[in-house]
């Protein structure tokens, strides 16, 4: 009788252990799945949104852009760069990392015309201004949205400084531009020339006055991409 009871007990314990083993195994699978899910955003590609705007690159008086023009938007009482506003919209949709292309020496002029002349002179001489901001881990990004205003039918020279600082071979550059009507001019060709091994995707141009209401256009463009 004792023997029978003992063999029943052993069978019950053996079944119990087997059950536990199965639970542990399935818990292991769940962990694996969780890890895979956590890794997937990386597999989809890390996104950087690098942009240049005039606001933030001119000397400020008491925290305010000293040479604001009629085309500069005012958000929450502060002057806001047109290109920055579009960059923020892209960030909201993609969840990418924002990066402001900031010059080491800001434009030091006290009127808008003087500033426009300074930017033109810099462009005609092909100057590459030193940058105050740098992307530490550029190799970790797969897609780089690159935003800039059209300046004299070209990119601001600081955007060339940015483009020439990194090796973007194999990455996708997605240009976006704001302007007073010139669109991209020849800037797409200039980006391709600066980074011949990168894939340059369909860009988006927004007219300066349409910037505040460009949300739908930005979303449609991102969906197309
Ligand atoms: C120095 C300078 C040059 C410009 N040149 C052009 C131009 O050639 N064509 C154009 O359509 N808009 C031109 N603009 C207008 C800007 O491209 C436009 O206002 C842009 O949205 C400004 O963006 P931001 O606020 O991000 O700097 C120029 C503006 C500046 C300040």
Q: Looking at the DSSP assignment, which residues form a beta bridge with residue 107?
A: 58
The closest-lying atom of ligand 1 relative to the alpha carbon of residue 52 is 26
Q: Which of 94, 6, 15 lies closest to 47, judged by CA?
A: 94
Q: CA-CA distance, 206 to 177, in Å (whole number)?
A: 6
Mean pLDDT on 177-200 = 97
The rounded Å distance from CA 136 to ligand 1 centre is: 29
**More confident of the two residues 152 and 109:** 152
Q: CA-CA distance, 218 to 220, in Å (whole number)?
A: 6
pLDDT at 4 over 80: no
User: Which segment, 7-11, 20-24, 141-145, is predicted with the most confidence on average?
Assistant: 141-145
Q: CA-CA distance, 207 to 190, in Å (whole number)?
A: 20
**More confident of the two residues 181 and 28:** 181
pLDDT in tens, 88-112: 999 999 999 999 999 999 988 777 7
Q: What pLDDT score does 11 carry?
A: 41
Q: What pLDDT score does 112 carry?
A: 79
CB atoms within 10 A of CB 50: 25
pLDDT in tens, 39-65: 333 345 899 999 999 999 988 766 566
Backbone angles phi, psi at 105, to 5 degrees: -105, 115
Q: What pLDDT score does 67 carry?
A: 62
The rounded Å distance from CA 126 to ligand 1 centre is: 18
For the chain, the average pLDDT equals 81
Q: What pLDDT score does 15 carry?
A: 39
**Confidence band, pLDDT 50/70/90 cuts, at residue 211:** very high
**Confidence band, pLDDT 50/70/90 cuts, at residue 9:** very low
Q: Looking at the DSSP assignment, which residues form a beta bridge with residue 48?
A: 97, 144
Backbone angles phi, psi at 134, to 5 degrees: -140, 145
Q: What pLDDT score does 117 carry?
A: 87
Pocket test for ligand 1, best of 151, 190, 207 (most atoms within 8 A of CB): 151
Percent of the chain topping pLDDT 90: 60
SS3 sequence of the chain: CHHHHHHHHHHHHHHHHHHHHHHHHHHHHHHHHHHHHHHHHHHHCCEEEEECCCCCCECEECCEECCCCCCCEEECCEEECHHHHHHHHHHHHHCCEEEECCECCCECCCCHHHHHHHHHHHHHCCCCCCECCCCCCHHHCCEEEEEEECECCECCHHHHHHHHHCCCCCCEEEEEEEECCCCCCCHHHHHHHHCCCCEECCCEEEEHHHHHHCHHHHHHHHHHC
The rounded Å distance from CA 135 to ligand 1 centre is: 25
CB atoms within 10 A of CB 3: 7
Show the ligand 1 pocket: residues with CB < 6 angstroms. 53-55, 71-72, 81-84, 116, 119, 149-153, 178-182, 208
Q: What pLDDT score does 60 carry?
A: 72
The closest-lying atom of ligand 1 relative to the alpha carbon of residue 85 is 26
Q: What pLDDT score does 30 carry?
A: 39
Whole-number Cα distances in Å, 114 to 66, 179, 189? 12, 19, 29
């Amino acid at each position: 009788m004792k023997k029978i009871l003992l063999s029943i007990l052993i069978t019950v314990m053996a079944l119990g252990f087997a059950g536990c083993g199965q639970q542990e195994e399935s818990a292991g699978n769940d962990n694996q799945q969780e890890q895979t899910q956590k890794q997937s955003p990386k597999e989809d590609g890390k996104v950087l949104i690098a942009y240049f705007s005039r606001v933030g690159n001119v000397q400020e008086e008491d925290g305010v852009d000293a040479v604001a023009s009629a085309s500069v938007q005012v958000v929450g009482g502060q002057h806001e760069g047109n290109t920055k506003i579009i960059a923020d919209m892209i960030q909201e949709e993609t969840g990418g990392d924002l990066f402001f292309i900031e010059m080491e020496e800001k434009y030091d002029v006290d009127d808008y015309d003087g500033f426009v002349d300074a930017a033109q002179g810099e462009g005609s001489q092909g100057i590459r201004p030193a940058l105050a901001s740098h992307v530490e881990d550029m190799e970790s990004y797969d897609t780089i949205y690159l935003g800039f205003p059209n300046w004299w039918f070209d990119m601001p020279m600081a955007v060339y400084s940015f483009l020439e600082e990194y090796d973007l071979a194999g990455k996708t550059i997605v240009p976006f531009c704001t302007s007073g009507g010139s669109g991209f001019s020849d800037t797409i060709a200039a980006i391709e020339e600066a980074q011949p091994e990168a894939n340059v995707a369909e860009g988006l141009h927004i007219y300066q006055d349409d910037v505040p209401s460009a949300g739908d256009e930005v979303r449609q463009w991102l969906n197309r991409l």
